[in-house]
Amino acid sequence: MSENSNLLAEQRRALILEVVRRRGGVRVNELTRKLGVSDMTVRRDLDALARQGVLEKVHGGAVPVVEASTHEPGFEAKSGLEPTAKEDIARAAAELVAPGAAIALSGGTTTYALAHRLVDVPDLTVVTNSVRVADVFHVAQRTSGARQGTATVVLTGGVRTPPTRWWGPSPTRRSRRSTSTCCSSVHGISAEAGLSTPNLAEAETNRRLVQSARRVVVVADHTKWGVVGLSSFAALEQVDTLVTDGGLPADARAEIAEHLRLVVAGEPDSGD
């Protein structure tokens, strides 16, 4: 069977990952038939996904990563996953934030990319539990000068953890301030579990950030769909918009669109 040139590597890998997560495993020969590509191509795709830590290669195929519900890679490791998708998502999500808005930004590599896109939006008030996100705005202010219209940043307190986010009682209390929009990264998103994270303290903080906002925007690349972390912090029905990338499979798009507005970076807006 000839190689399917219409299916890009990123799309193939998204489909492979979806099959592995939904079925609990898949064999190489099944994937070659399903995708219409060679055995070697499938094995290269599995190697790439295994390096990202999203599946585990076994003899003749692949299975899900056993520790996926409780384990979260560090910031540097996650930054190397789907970097192009994250930049595309950040660019699309920034268009949803109006000048003068009060927004909440959760910790995460995609919200970190989004923060870089928001530094030029005038008169923002940013509430965040991420030191890295706060630093993006502080550095922008130092390099451009304290000009009128720069963001006001509120960094919540609490207990600092290795990914440089603050979780605990203090951010829970302080995040009660009302914001127009909450932009949240996620460890996983699914129809059944909603938005989830491996960290219980982070789940409580994110729950407060979501509750404080009049609109909830989730920024998540296609590999997050179908992943379920240890603790859920919001139902899919609480989300107004999901901004993702073109690697999201068609069946997942249809399922998501039943619950919320779907914005796929680089494509016409699929929401009303």
Same domain, 50 and 93: no
In a domain, 70, yes or no: no
pLDDT at 56: 84
Same domain, 151 and 222: yes
Full residue range of the structural domain in which residue 30 is found: 9-64
What's this model's pTM, rounded to 2 decimal places? 0.68
pLDDT at 2: 38
In a domain, 269, yes or no: no
State how many domains the chain has.
2
d(CA 113, CA 87): 6
Task: For 236-266, write each residue's pLDDT tens digit.
Answer: 999 999 999 999 989 899 999 999 999 999 8
Q: Which of 196, 164, 219 is nearest to 69 (CA)?
A: 196
In a domain, 136, yes or no: yes
- Burial (Cβ within 10 Å: 0-12, 13-18, ≥19) of residue 1: exposed
Q: What is the CATH number of the domain that holds 171?
A: 3.40.50.1360
Same domain, 196 and 241: yes
Same domain, 139 and 242: yes
In a domain, 69, yes or no: no
In a domain, 201, yes or no: yes
In a domain, 270, yes or no: no
Same domain, 84 and 181: yes
Specify the length of the chain in residues: 272
Task: For 78-103, write each residue's pLDDT tens digit.
Answer: 666 788 999 999 999 999 999 999 99
Same domain, 129 and 222: yes
Same domain, 174 and 249: yes
Beta-carbon count within 10 A of 95 CB: 13
Q: What is the CATH number of the domain that holds 49?
A: 1.10.10.10
Out of 64, 85, 102, a domain closes at 64
d(CA 37, CA 48): 16
Segments in the chain below pLDDT 70: 1-7, 66-80, 144-149, 157-177, 269-272
pLDDT at 142: 80
Same domain, 147 and 259: yes
Sheet containing 125-128: order of strands: 152-155, 125-128, 102-105, 179-184, 213-219, 241-244, 261-264
pLDDT at 133: 92
pLDDT at 169: 45
Going along the chain, which residue ranges are E strands?
A: 26-27, 55-58, 61-64, 102-105, 125-128, 152-155, 159-161, 165-167, 179-184, 188-190, 194-197, 213-219, 231-234, 241-244, 261-264
Same domain, 55 and 107: no
